[in-house]
Each structure stands twice: as C-alpha cells, then as structure tokens.
Amino acid sequence: MIGKPIPAQYLQSMTDLISNILDMIRVKGTAYYSKHVVAPWGMEVDQHDHLYRFHLVLSGSAWVGLADDRDRQFLGEGDFVIVPDGRGHLLSDSREVSGHSLHHIPGETFRPEFQQSGPATDQTQLLCGYFQFAHGLPSMLTSRLPSLFITRINSAGRSEQISQVAKLLKSELNRAEQPQTMILNRLTEILFYHAVREWFDAALLPSGSLHALADLRLQKVFEEIHQNPSQAWTVESLAKIAGQSRTVFAAHFKHATGESPITYLAQWRAELARKLLSETDKAIDQIAVEIGYQDSNAFNRAFKRVTGSPPGAFRRSQKGNTHTSQTLE
C-alpha cells in the first residue's frame, strides 16, 4: 500500500498520530543570542552533543553549513534552521567563508546577549539559541531529521503561523526595554513545534522519509495502541491487527518508526503516565493499571526505563516546578 493515496477515513487517524507523537516531545527552548550584523560577517558554532541549536533570520539573509561539509544552504528573511545533535556549523553572509573573521557563538553557559538594532539598513538580524528535550526524541524523528533542518517562510504548510511567531520574536527583541527571556524562550518552543509539524506533513508524502507511517495496516495498529493502551498487547496481537505475520509486522513497524512495537507502546504508556502523574492525584497503583501494567513494580521499572526516573520522583519534581511557577507569578 505504500505509495498509494490515503483514503479519507484514515486522514484523521494520521492527524491524531502526528499529534500523539508531538505530544511525546517535551522541549525547552533557550534564546540567548541576538545580533545585527553587516557584511562581511561570519559566526562559528561549536559542537555540543546534547543541544539542538537553532537560528532564525529575522531580517536580511545568511548562509549556513556544517563545519565539516562544504555544502551550504541559503537562509532568507523568516527562515529557521535547527541543527540536530549539536553539530558544529558556520553562519555567514556569503556562501564562501574564507577570509571572514569568524565570531564564536559559545555554548549553554553563555549569558544571554540581545543586541539592539543599529542604524545600518543592509544589516542581517539573527536570533540564536538551542533546544533541549526532557525525555529525548522519538527514534522516528532522530533517525530521519536532516542534518540541517530548515523551515522556509515561503514554503507551503504552516509558514504563516511560523511567520507570526517570528514577528512576535522580532518585536520583543527590538522594543526599547530589555527583552524578556521567558517570552523569547516560550515563543521559540512554539516555533519548534510548528517547524516539526510542517516537516511531518512533508515527510508523510509519497516521496517523504516517513511515508511508511501512512500504511493503512500500521494506522490500525497505532489507533488501537492509542485508544486502548491498557490492553495486554504483544507483538503477535498487534500483528493480527495489521494482518501480517509476527516477523513481517515487527520488521515493518521498525522500518516505519525506527522502534520496535513494544518500545513504542512503552513510550506511549509513559507519556500517558506523565500526564496522569502531573495533572491528577491518582495513586501510582491506579495509574499503573489504567495504562496497562499489572502492578506498580512493573510500572516503576517500565517508567524509569523510558524517562530515567521512577514515577514517584517524577511526580515530586512536577509539583516542585508548579510551586516555583506559582511563586514567580
């Protein structure tokens, strides 16, 4: 079925799938550097493995490329690039950076620096920062995102929403008072979700890297997992829903998502558990049963394997964050 149009009755199911995958992502955006530059200029960004660096061109233009790759991409006004895995890269006013005096953009310990607009009319304004993820990213994203993940403002899809967020960021940066980092950070997170959603839409097309997810057999499986997470699912029972043998289904699912069916199920249950732990006062034993575990011990082991912490510690950390937010407000 791969490569064929998706029947209308499955479009909503696919929309729900994308929303569910995005819901698994817990991203923290940090905007920490904004500069107005006039040609010739160049910036060097060091490798930082756990950071997803980003750059937004608020005005003017730039060229971006990985430090170990001569291939470079043009960025126009409003274009947004994410560099996954913290790879070292270069930004400059021209395709060739030889002869440029490269300004170094430091890492996460750098104190935020937001430069006010200068008098030049031919300047480029950049906003730089990074994203961090509380629980990592799903394999279907990390294994398929391009080395330079670029969202262009003049492309189809959600570019209008991205344009509006970019305008809000530019307005906050260029106001007379010192910009509020909290506002900048939250806006960059919104920018991230719009960019990833736009990438999803393109990746699910017949020529896209995620088109295997559009297979109707897998759609049925995702729908069952998401609607009935407490079922005692096995690879065999999920394979029956897909109408495939166990071996064929397991390989098919891994090819489409980058994960095994049981790993995906565990991640989805962990996401549901995070919501219940942070948004309700339900007992951990009750949550365990609701999402498909026989007892709290099995739930504790599975939750810690996915998130890195046991359910009780996660709940306490969320209550601490809530208290801090209320104090600040």
pLDDT in tens, the chain (329 residues): 444 555 555 566 667 777 777 877 888 999 888 888 888 888 888 888 788 999 999 989 999 999 888 889 999 998 999 998 888 899 998 888 765 566 677 666 667 777 765 555 678 889 999 998 876 677 777 777 888 889 888 766 566 788 888 889 988 888 877 788 899 999 999 999 888 888 887 777 777 777 777 788 888 898 899 889 999 999 999 999 999 999 999 999 998 888 899 999 998 999 899 889 988 999 999 999 999 998 889 999 999 998 888 999 988 887 755 443 333 33
Residue 83 near residue 147 (C-beta atoms within 8 A) = yes
The pLDDT assigned to 253 comes to 93
* 21: nearest Cα among 129, 139, 103: 139
At a CB cut-off of 8 Å and minimum separation 6, what does 103 contact? 41, 42, 43, 44
Sign of the CA dihedral running 37, 40, 44, 45: positive
Predicted TM-score (pTM) of this structure:
0.77
> What is the structure's pLDDT at 156?
60
